[in-house]
Chain A
Amino acid sequence: DGGITQSPKYLFRKEGQNVTLSCEQNLNHDAMYWYRQDPGQGLRLIYYSQIVNDFQKGDIAEGYSVSREKKESFPLTVTSAQKNPTAFYLCASSIDLASGGAGEQFFGPGTRLTVL
């Protein structure tokens, strides 16, 4: 899992509550990403950030919010507006292409969120 940590590993919340998932990296990577994975499915992009204090919506941003106040941290909040939040959430990071990166994304171990 080298350098990217996600916490907690398992998270249970009641319906209607907001919940924040943590993602930290010590790889000095510029870009960070959040993906959602449903059982038997591929990875879908929620949000990404290429630089501190800037982030962009991915394919399924509705019901989610993010912040990027520090290079090392990219927390994801799952809000009550997300209709079906139970899923496996993956954070990734990469060196920005402009900084000499080659495009490789490295993933954290994931957080499994279950909404009861």
Chain B
Amino acid sequence: GENVEQHPSTLSVQEGDSAVIKCTYSDSASNYFPWYKQELGKGPQLIIDIRSNVGEKKDQRIAVTLNKTAKHFSLHITETQPEDSAVYFCAASNNAGNMLTFGGGTRLMVKP
């Protein structure tokens, strides 16, 4: 089955700096890669996703890149703000029954 590794497990940045979170996956058939943001005590919220037919996708300060050959994808957050502090999860799916396999999560702390 699919295995998703996520790094780093914790990340601390200064407000205004950029943050990068990386994930690798094992199943070459995976073709859908969402990123979720989870605030304390709440359910995860989808913030951006990418499919295997594109290499990069942007939404304001957030971007995701995908390298299918190397089987890794990354979340980039620019101009970080304190409200970006949360746990971020990557996931991968080969769209077989809508199943997602999640990474272990990254706790991002943005210092004012």
Contact = CB atoms under 8 A, between A and B. Distances in A.
Contacts of A41: 104-105
B100 A105 contact: yes
Nearest to A93: B98
Contacts of A43: 44, 89, 102
Given A42-B102, A43-B102, A48-B99, A104 B43 contact: no
Choose among B6, B32, B44 the residue with the greatest number of A CB atoms under 10 Å from its CB: B44
Given A1-B43, A42-B105, A94 B98 contact: yes
A96 B43 contact: no
Given A42-B103, A103-B98, A110 B32 contact: no
Prevailing SS type, chain B contact patch: loop
B43 A109 contact: yes
A61 to B, nearest CB: 14
A110 B99 contact: no
Sorting the interface of chain B by its residue count into under 10, 10 to 19, 20 to 34 or 35 or more gives: 20 to 34
A87 B50 CA distance: 30
Choose among B43, B89, B93, B98 the residue with the greatest number of A CB atoms under 10 Å from its CB: B98
Contacts of A40: 105
Nearest to A31: B98
Contacts of A102: 32
B104 A103 contact: no
A110 B93 contact: no
Interface in A57-105: 90, 92, 94, 96-97, 101-105
B105 to A, nearest CB: 5
Contacts of A109: 42-43
Closest 5 CB pairs of A and B: A107-B43, A42-B104, A42-B102, A43-B102, A103-B32
Interface of B: 6, 32, 34, 36, 41-46, 49, 89, 93, 95, 97-100, 102-105
Given A41-B104, A48-B99, A105-B100, 11 more contacts: A6-B43, A31-B98, A43-B102, A97-B97, A102-B32, A103-B32, A103-B34, A105-B46, A105-B98, A107-B36, A110-B43
